[in-house]
Amino acid sequence: MTHDWRASKARFRAAMSGEQPDRVPLYMLVLEQMIARVQGITIRELFSSPKFYANSIISAHEFFHTDNLGLPTAYAGPAEVAAFAEANGKKKTIHWRDYQSFFVEQGEICKTAEDIDNLNIPDHRNLKLWN
């Protein structure tokens, strides 16, 4: 059975306007590691393409029967740090895990105040995370 996103929208509207929804709306932040587990894939596979990532997010929210749809990377998290690592020639500091968000070794991109001054800002149009 497909998820009824219209019912989810109506559920939230009813709750926010003080009306009685058909059930309590479920708002849930579905994180990358949850998406990977539900889809039966690794984090690296999850990030294999923007389209695959987006479809996996939708599928995971449908699996949990949530009434919201959220992007777990809307924060300055691992993907942003990975972009800085790549832009500054430090790709080897990125560590991939199968079912957890990847991470970058702490203190390896900038070790000194001078490193901060010389930090290259990543061009997100050319980010290689999706490759």
Q: Which of 29, 42, 35, 43 is nearest to 59 (CA)?
A: 35
| Residue of 68 and 47 predicted with greater confidence | 68
pLDDT of residue 109: 82
Q: Where are the domains of the chain?
A: 1-10+24-73, 78-122
Mean pLDDT of 62-67: 94
Q: How confident is the model at residue 20 (pLDDT cuts 50, 70, 90)?
A: very high
pLDDT of residue 70: 84
pLDDT of residue 116: 85
pLDDT of residue 74: 46
Return d(Cα 78, Cα 81) in angstroms, integer: 5
Q: Give, in order, the Cα–Cα distances in Å from 24 to each of 14, 21, 61, 97.
A: 10, 7, 16, 35
Q: Is the pLDDT reported for residue 56 higher than 80?
A: yes
Mean pLDDT of 63-88: 77
pLDDT of residue 129: 60
Structure tokens of 58? 């939708």
pLDDT in tens, 76-118: 566 677 777 888 888 888 777 777 777 777 788 888 889 888 8
Q: How confident is the model at residue 47 (pLDDT cuts 50, 70, 90)?
A: confident
